[in-house]
Structures are given as structure tokens and as C-alpha cells.
């Protein structure tokens, strides 16, 4: 059973702060890692992907990967109320095709 | 560009009825995934296809569920007979294995079985 662990939250941060979302995974064969954002009543939306150890930045988002620790995180700088959503972590299998989704972390950004 | 298209968006049916959900993947994508999302179990992969061939159906809950992909632009997920515990949001996603396998989700079908 391949497990993906995320703190369900809610994680509450004030507007303008940095939100830090964490994820651990059990499958050492995972090669690629994805973060999805899901607003209430909507479908998951891909926001970041990362494949190599280290950091990857895209605008206000930074994904961090440490394969040795089986840990991946997402940082959101200058958090906005519009960032309030559930964030899903999804490592892939070794074939890069099948994703294993965590249960998600609910983020609340307070104005 | 059109994204993944799903129909219907909402379906209300009675226990025992047959339900068919439909999906059109993004043009050029060769992998298609069916997921189910509930509060209790989160987002679960039911089945995925690669080049119209079912690759992994280990997530299909039981024989009442079946999925087909007759061509590259259409897939169905059928539940027969439906039960109240099948009530969930069903998502279809597609990806391209020639790229980096990022999956893009459709808007989902909210199924309610009374």
C-alpha cells in the first residue's frame, strides 16, 4: 500500500505570510511529484511539479523535494485570500503515470 | 484549448438504476484516468487507460463498475446497478506520456444515488 501523508489542517495564515504545506510518501520508487489546488466544489488544478531534489520556484510558489527523506513541500509566499483551498500532494509511481493522492491540506488565508 | 470534458455534470438517480458517465480527454493526450472523490476516502484512482487500453483497474470497487475507451477521444464509466454508497464526485483526467505526464482534470460529475 503506497501512502501519502498530509496534515489535513486547516492551516491558517494571515494575508501576506508564507504558507508551508508538507507531504511525506512511502514509495521510494516515485520519480515525479505534483501539487494540485482544489477549491471547494471544483476539480483539482495542477499548480506545481518537481522531479529533482532541491527547490523549484514558479511565481509565488516554491516546491521542495528531498527524495532521501521521502518528503515534498510547497511554500506559498505573500499568501492571498484567493489561495484559500485544499492542496493535494501527488507522487507518481516509477512509470511516471499513476499518481497517488494525499488527502489534502486545507489552507485558510485570513485578510 | 478545450480541457477535459465530462458529462453530465450532475446526476441524480435511484438505487438499482444504471448510470453512465462520459469523458472526452484533451486532444493529443494518450492516457485517461477515472477518479472518485468522497469526504471519507479522498481522491481514489479507479482505472486508467493508455492508448485506449486499460492498464490498471485495481481501484474499481466491484463488478458493478465498468469502464471503456472505444477510441482516443471518448471514455465511459458505467455503474450497474447503482447503490447509495456510490454517491461521490467522479473525475476524469488525461495526460500525455510523451510529455511529463502531468494530469489535467475535468470538471467532474456529481453523482447522487437515492
Q: How confident is the prediction for chain A on average, in pLDDT? A: 94
**Residue written as cell 485517461?**
B32
Angstroms from A49 CA to nearest CA on chain B: 8
- Per DSSP, B13 falls in state E
Touching check for B106 and chain A: CB below 8 Å? yes
Angstroms from A76 CA to nearest CA on chain B: 21
- Tens of pLDDT along A55-84? 999 999 999 999 999 999 999 999 999 999
Touching check for B30 and chain A: CB below 8 Å? no
**Residue A9: pLDDT band by 50, 70, 90 thresholds?**
confident
Q: How far apart are CA B38 and CA A1, in angstroms?
A: 19
Q: How far apart are CA A72 and CA A62, in angstroms?
A: 11
Across the interface, whether the CB atoms of B45 and A97 are under 8 A apart is answered no
What percent of chain A clears pLDDT 70, i.e. is strictly above it? 98
Q: How far apart are CA B45 and CA A98, in angstroms?
A: 8
* Rounded average pLDDT over A95-107: 89
Across the interface, whether the CB atoms of A42 and B107 are under 8 A apart is answered yes
Contact B90, B82 (CB under 8 A): no
Angstroms from A17 CA to nearest CA on chain B: 28
Written as nine digits, the cell of A111 is 485578510
Across the interface, whether the CB atoms of B101 and A51 are under 8 A apart is answered no
Report whether pLDDT(B101) > 90. no
**pLDDT the model gives residue A97:** 79
- Tens of pLDDT along B36-88? 999 999 999 999 999 999 999 999 988 999 999 999 999 999 999 999 999 99
**Residue A93: pLDDT band by 50, 70, 90 thresholds?**
confident
SS3 B84: helix
Across the interface, whether the CB atoms of A97 and B95 are under 8 A apart is answered yes
Q: How far apart are CA B114 and CA A103, in angstroms?
A: 26
> Is the peptide bond preceding residue A3 cis, with omega within 30 degrees of 0?
no
Number of H-type helices and E-type strands within chain A: 0, 10
* Positive or negative: CA dihedral A73, A71, A103, B3: positive
Across the interface, whether the CB atoms of A92 and B101 are under 8 A apart is answered yes
Q: Which of residues A96 and B66 earns the better pLDDT score?
A: B66
Touching check for B109 and chain A: CB below 8 Å? no
**pLDDT the model gives residue B99:** 59
Q: How confident is the prediction for chain B on average, in pLDDT? A: 94
**CA B25 and chain centroid, separation:** 11
Report whether pLDDT(B1) > 70. no
Touching check for B49 and chain A: CB below 8 Å? no
- Tens of pLDDT along A41-54? 999 999 999 999 99
In the sheet that B65-71 helps form, which strands lie side by side, from edge to edge?
B5-7, B19-24, B74-79, B65-71
Concatenating the DSSP letter of every residue in A21-68 gives EEEEES-TT---EEEEEE-TTS--EEEEEE-SSEEEEETTEEEEEETT
Amino acid at each position: 500500500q503506497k501512502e501519502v501523508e498530509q496534515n489535513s489542517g486547516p492551516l491558517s495564515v494571515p494575508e501576506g505570510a508564507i504558507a508551508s504545506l508538507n507531504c511525506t510518501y512511502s514509495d521510494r520508487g516515485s520519480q515525479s511529484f505534483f501539487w494540485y489546488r482544489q477549491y471547494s466544489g471544483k476539480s483539482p488544478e495542477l499548480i506545481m511539479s518537481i522531479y529533482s531534489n532541491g527547490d523549484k520556484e514558479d511565481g509565488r510558489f516554491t516546491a521542495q523535494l528531498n527524495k532521501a527523506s521521502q518528503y515534498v513541500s510547497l511554500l506559498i509566499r505573500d499568501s492571498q485570500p484567493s489561495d484559500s483551498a485544499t492542496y493535494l500532494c501527488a507522487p507518481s509511481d516509477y512509470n511516471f503515470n499513476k499518481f497517488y493522492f494525499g488527502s489534502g491540506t486545507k489552507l485558510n488565508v485570513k485578510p | 484549448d478545450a480541457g477535459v470534458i465530462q458529462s453530465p455534470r450532475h446526476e441524480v438517480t435511484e438505487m438499482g438504476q444504471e448510470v453512465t458517465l462520459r469523458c472526452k480527454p484533451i486532444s493529443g493526450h494518450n492516457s485517461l484516468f477515472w477518479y472518485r472523490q468522497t469526504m471519507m476516502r479522498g481522491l481514489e484512482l479507479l482505472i486508467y487507460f493508455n492508448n485506449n487500453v486499460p492498464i490498471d483497474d485495481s481501484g474499481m470497487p466491484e463488478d458493478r463498475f465498468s469502464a471503456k475507451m472505444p477510441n482516443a477521444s471518448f471514455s465511459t464509466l458505467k455503474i450497474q446497478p447503482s447503490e447509495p454508497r456510490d454517491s461521490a464526485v467522479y473525475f476524469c483526467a488525461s495526460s500525455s506520456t510523451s510529455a511529463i505526464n502531468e494530469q489535467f482534470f475535468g470538471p467532474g460529475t456529481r453523482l447522487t444515488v437515492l
